[in-house]
Every structure is written in structure tokens, then in C-alpha cells.
């Protein structure tokens, strides 16, 4: 199979290089059009923060003097820093397997990454719109997206939180039923605190209040997260009215003590209160966790959840690989079916089936002495109908490039429904 994948990812290239080889949507469209015109029959370019990969089928007459990795580097004007060792060049069915590993998330930096599937889908759609896909890549990417979905529904590869912020939001959802009816107070404005609040807002948190020593920073965050700023000196007034408290400030004294919380809990009718302490040193007196209906979790506890979930995802890789293997066989069978000889054979069988079925239906209309003649006549008609297409197929096979021929075979198979009982 004349298919290749050339690209870089988090394992082969440092971030400094990956960010330089990142393509915007517009750049992708331009490059795909150029490559399609110059040297490739089909191509799809995917570009995310951790990987840039070009899947392509080269024309037989393409210019072999410039390797594809150089073409990619040239298109971003970074030939001077690009090294061949940054790139991998995966041929044939290994490239199919590689794409399946990408869409299932087992090749991602964070195993089971959920975003990659939509990113690949987007790249495929862009290539289709640009007109740079054909029989092979259309089939390959449709299958790869299907494999990605299968992995997520049939295994637990994407289960569980794998970031501190997500783990905190998941914990909140294990305590409260509907976050839309809940409110949170964010004390501090660090990156982890912001991400945690973002995850809560992403789960439709009802209201978010923010308090920070630097008020302007709190206002900035409030603008981004659609929250409300409260004075840092007054934050204690709000602890009784919110359901979730996130603290992430630098302080050598506890921000909230047992006394504070007992009082607040009484004021809020003993309703559960979830406190996330992201501060190091800790902002909240840990003995608070002994109070009924208060759930205190610090950064270590959340990191443990993340580690546990990552280990669980790793344990799923074997099941995902089984799905990949199964789907690879499907793809292989489909690709083999595009060969000319089996298609001619199936075409003959298809017409022969129609002929015998019709004869069986109308046999009684003819006298027994005419049966043999009918048999010969219908056979001759079928052979005559099929003669030209079969000859053209055979001749085309020797003249045209493999991929164009496969395209024709694919159309023919589609027109006569030869894949009806085959794979997707």
C-alpha cells in the first residue's frame, strides 16, 4: 500500500520544535492544496499541540529529491532547525495502525485523551473540503474515527479525571447532584486554581465568587469565568453561603480554621461543604476534615486521584489494542478487495447469481427442450455485457498507477453493491 505517515509528536520532538511546526487551519488548507497539486494523490494533515502528522499517498511520478519531512519544515520556514530525527516516517499498514492508536488515545501524551478524536475529525473534514482526500484516506479516516469511538465506549480508556482541576470537579459531582444549583468561592488566582474553577464552570456551576489579594487579577479572572469579585478581606463573610471553597494563596497561617468552619456550617444549616486546598503550604487547617459534612481535599489527595486514574487507563491499553487489531483486519480485507482480480471474480459471481435467479423464476414458461438454449443464451448475454468492463479493468490495471485503479475498482464495487456483505 502506497500510504505513509510522516510527522512529529511529544516523544520525538521537543516542545520548542513542536510549537514551530504547528499549523493553523488556514495553513493546513494551503499546504494540502499545494501538496495535492505537486506530488500527492491524497493527503490529510493533523496538527495539535502534541503532534503534527501528514498522512499521504504519493503519486508515482513525485519528486523524490525532497523528503516529505523537509517539505513540512520548509512550509513553516524552519528547515534550519529541523532534524530528520525529529520525524518518523511510517509506511503502509503500520501507518493505519498508528492512526488507530492516535484516535483511540493510546498514543497521546495523556493516555485516553478525549480531545484528539475531535481534532482528527476536524483535520479530516478540512482535507475533504480542500479536496485532498480520495478512496483510501476517506476510508482510512472514517474507520479511524470509528475505532476511536469504539475504544471509548467499549473500554475505560477515557475514564476518570487526569488533571487536578478535573479531579476536583469530579469530586464536587460526587458530593452534589446538580452543580447548577451550587456556588463556589475561589480564594487566590493561581493557574491550578483557575483551571479548577474552569472545570467547575464547565459543569454548569451556578455562581462563582473570586477573592484575591490583587483585586485586578481577580477581576480579570472573573471576566474570563463569568464570576463575581468579592473583597479579599471580606471573603470569610461568604464561606457560609457557598457550597465549594477553593483556596490557592501563599500564606504561612491557616486561612480557615475549625472555628470558622463550625460557625459557617451552623449558619448554613449543616449542609455539605466541599473545600479544595491547593495551597502549599496548606491554607486550611487539616483537622477541619473531622467535622461532619465538610469534605476537605488538598493537592496531594487530588494528585492521588489523577495517578490512580492514569494507572487505570494504562491498564486498558491491552483491550484497546485488541480493538485496533480487529479493525486493522477489516481494513486489510477492504483494501485487498480493491485488487482487480478478486473484483472481476466477484463481478462475475454477482451477474451469474442474477442470471440463475431469473432463470429459476421463469423456467416454467419454457418448454423442456428449450431450457438448454435459454441457459446458453443468457450466459452469452451476461458475458457480452461484462466483456468490455472486465477488459478495461485488466488493461487499466497494467497502465495506471495503483491508486487511481483502486479508485475505479472502488467505484465499480460501490455501483454494483459488491461490498454489501463486506466490512464498513
Interface with other proteins by CB under 8 A: which residues?
153-154, 156, 160, 171, 173-178, 269-272, 289, 292-293, 295, 297, 301, 304-305, 308
DSSP label of 184: E
Q: Is 65 helix (H, G, I), strand (E, B) or coil?
A: coil
Closest to 221 in 3D by CA, of 246, 195, 250: 195
> 188: which residues sit within 8 A by CB, 6+ positions away?
212, 246, 247, 248, 249, 278, 279, 283
State which residue, 160 or 190, has the beta carbon closest to other proteins: 160
Euclidean distance between CA atoms 307 and 374, whole angstroms: 75
Q: Which of 49, 109, 353, 385 is catalytic?
A: 49
Sequence-ordered alpha helix ranges (H) in 363-421: 371-399, 402-415
The answer to whether the CB of 119 falls within 8 A of the CB of 144 is: no
In the complex, the smallest distance separating the C-beta of residue 270 from other proteins, rounded to whole angstroms, is 4
Rounded to the nearest whole angstrom, what is the least distance from the CB of residue 268 to other proteins in the complex?
Answer: 9
Q: Nearer to other proteins by C-beta: 128 or 289?
A: 289
Query: Closer to other proteins at the Cβ: 169 or 412?
Result: 169
CB 285 within 8 A of CB 257: yes
- The alpha helices in 273-368, defined as continuous H runs, are 299-315, 317-337, 340-362
**Least Å distance between CB 309 and other proteins?**
8
Nearest to 47 by CA among 67, 70, 83, 76: 76
CA–CA–CA angle 320, 322, 324 (5° rounding): 70
Compute the least distance from the CB of residue 187 to other proteins, in Å: 22
Beta-bridge partners for 207:
183
Q: Least distance (Å) from other proteins to the CB of residue 313?
A: 13
Q: Annotated catalytic, 49?
A: yes
CB of 395 closer than 8 Å to CB of 379 = no
The least CB distance from residue 143 to other proteins, in Å, is 21
What's the grid cell of residue 53? 502528522
- Taking the least distance from each CB to other proteins, the nearer of 135 and 309 is 309
Q: Which lies closer to other proteins via its Cβ, residue 258 or residue 404? A: 258
Active site residues: 49
Amino acid at each position: 500500500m502506497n500510504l505513509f505517515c510522516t510527522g512529529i509528536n511529544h516523544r520525538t520532538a521537543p516542545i520548542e520544535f513542536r510549537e514551530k511546526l504547528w499549523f493553523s487551519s488556514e495553513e493546513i488548507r494551503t499546504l494540502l492544496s499545494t501538496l495535492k497539486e505537486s506530488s500527492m494523490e491524497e493527503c490529510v494533515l493533523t496538527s495539535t499541540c502534541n503532534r503534527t502528522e501528514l498522512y499521504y499517498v504519493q503519486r508515482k511520478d513525485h519528486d523524490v529529491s525532497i523528503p516529505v519531512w523537509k517539505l513540512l519544515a520548509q512550509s513553516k520556514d524552519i528547515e534550519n532547525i529541523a532534524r530528520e530525527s525529529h520525524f518518523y516516517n511510517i509506511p503502509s499498514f503500520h501507518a493505519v495502525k498508528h492512526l488507530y492508536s492516535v484516535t483511540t488515545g493510546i498514543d497521546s501524551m495523556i493516555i485516553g485523551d478525549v480531545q484528539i478524536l475531535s481534532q482528527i475529525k476536524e483535520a479530516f473534514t478540512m482535507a475533504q473540503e480542500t479536496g485532498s482526500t480520495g478512496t483510501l484516506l476517506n476510508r482510512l479516516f472514517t474507520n479511524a474515527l470509528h475505532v476511536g469511538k469504539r475504544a471509548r465506549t467499549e473500554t475505560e480508556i477515557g475514564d476518570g479525571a487526569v488533571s487536578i482541576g478535573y479531579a476536583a470537579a469530579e469530586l464536587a459531582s460526587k458530593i452534589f447532584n446538580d452543580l447548577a444549583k451550587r456556588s463556589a468561592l475561589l480564594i487566590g488566582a493561581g493557574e491550578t486554581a483557575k483551571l479548577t474553577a474552569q472545570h467547575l464552570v464547565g459543569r454548569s456551576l451556578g455562581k462563582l465568587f473570586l477573592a484575591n489579594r490583587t483585586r485586578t487579577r481577580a477581576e480579570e479572572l472573573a471576566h474570563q469565568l463569568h464570576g463575581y469579585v468579592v473583597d479579599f478581606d471580606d471573603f470569610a463573610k461568604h464561606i457560609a453561603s457557598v457550597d465549594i471553597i477553593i483556596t490557592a494563596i501563599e500564606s504561612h497561617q491557616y486561612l480557615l480554621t475549625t472555628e470558622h468552619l463550625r460557625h459557617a456550617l451552623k449558619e448554613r444549616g449543616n449542609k455539605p461543604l466541599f473545600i479544595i486546598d491547593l495551597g502549599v503550604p496548606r491554607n486550611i487547617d487539616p483537622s477541619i476534615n473531622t467535622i461532619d459534612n465538610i469534605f476537605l481535599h488538598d493537592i496531594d489527595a487530588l494528585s492521588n486521584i489523577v495517578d490512580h486514574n492514569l494507572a487505570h487507563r494504562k491498564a486498558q491499553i491491552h483491550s484497546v489494542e485488541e480493538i485496533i487489531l480487529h479493525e486493522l483486519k477489516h481494513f486489510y480485507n477492504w483494501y485487498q478487495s480493491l485488487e482487480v482480480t478478486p473484483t472481476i471474480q466477484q463481478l462475475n459471481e454477482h451477474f451469474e447469481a442474477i442470471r440463475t435467479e431469473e432463470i429459476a423464476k421463469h423456467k416454467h414458461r419454457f418448454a423442456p427442450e428449450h431450457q438448454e438454449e435459454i441457459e446458453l443464451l443468457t450466459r452469452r448475454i451476461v458475458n457480452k455485457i461484462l466483456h468490455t468492463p472486465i477488459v478495461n479493468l485488466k488493461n487499466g490495471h497494467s497502465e495506471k498507477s495503483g491508486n487511481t485503479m483502486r479508485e475505479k475498482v472502488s467505484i465499480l464495487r460501490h455501483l454494483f453493491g459488491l461490498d454489501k456483505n463486506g466490512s464498513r
